Structure 1
Amino acid sequence: MTRILIFGGHGKVALLLAPLLVARGDEVTAVIRNPAHADDVAATGATPVVADIEHLDASGIAELLAGHDAVVWSAGAGGGDAARTYAVDRDAAIASMDAAAAAGVARYVMVSWLGSRADHGVPADDAFFAYADAKWAADERLRGTALDWTILAPGALTLDEPTGGIELDPHGRGAVSRADVAAVTAAALAEPATVGRTIRFGAGSTPIAEALAG
């Protein structure tokens, strides 16, 4: 049994991920900001924990992580306010990396996005710039840590049914269902070959396990 903590536990991907992990025997804790979401999380089999990671420092986040074996960062500000985007998608994410190291939780899976690159191409005056900039900064920081990290970078997320297949390094938007992103995340947690890799993917025909095995 692996004890996994998910940040952003009420997100659409996280709500699909938790039951996959629970079904294979993992113990899942899901961190949520809004206590009204606790029942939704509990229905997945995960244990909800209410905490506002935007306002916790690394030591506070380390307390949440204590006793876990792995962490999944699937949290985000959801766009809109640039200051909050930086606070959550960059600063809180980086604090969680420091917290994971402090708490002895080496396995860290980041759910990022396909365009998270230094040359993401989003203009500074674009409303999407803060997100692109914040995600790149967080991903780059994670790559520089000593954690057993994996960065998962799916393309545009859809509500389509899962296919069980993906394409690595897709062209264009790389659209992929949230259900398949959840399945990739679950598989990556258990696949040592994903450690130290940034995996960019979209929908495709290669079975997830085969694609992740490298």
Structure 2
Amino acid sequence: MPIHIPFRRSAAAAVLVAATLTACGTQQGGEVRSAASAAASSASPQPSFSPRPLCARSDRTPEEIPASSAPAPDEGGDRQEAGQGHPDMPPNYADNHAYRMAGKLTEEARARGEASAELIRGELEQAMREGDLSDERLKKALKNLGCGEEHGVYVGHGFYSVHTGNACVSGNASQDGITSNVHGAYIEPQPGTGPCVRNQGGH
């Protein structure tokens, strides 16, 4: 027996179905637009870091500063340790230890770093003449040159490191003498220290 649905009920059902489909389409479109907006926002370039303030500043220009003959950490030992020239190392040794490499410096940044290292050695030599190379005294010597916490200063057991705003200067201070190296900041420095302390961990 045929079933007859009143016209009004059929029309109402059709309107309800159409409204539901339209609402779904609007919601999906909104989700797509929201996802696209989020993707566009995340794709926007973000600054990687803020430049460090300068400290241990020298009045000498880069042209007046002789280049150091001492190999910087990113130019010798690390590269050798990363497996170059060592056929017995695993094939992926260099990749696994790349985080221990120091960043490269421009010629100007290195020259300014050398000038800062000269000033730092002068301050540390004064501490040596005083017979006080305690961690606190080394920190005070760096502070005399305007190098503080904002420069990533780290001092421990005669070792010191600081980022002058141009380059890292690190080395050792003992009654045997003062040493210094100029190099770039490490990709992944030792946790809890500063940007100029080589990571002693492993991957």
TM-score by length of 2: 0.24
TM-score by length of 1: 0.23
Q: Which has the higher contact order (CA 8 A, sep 6+)?
A: 2
Which structure: larger Rg?
2
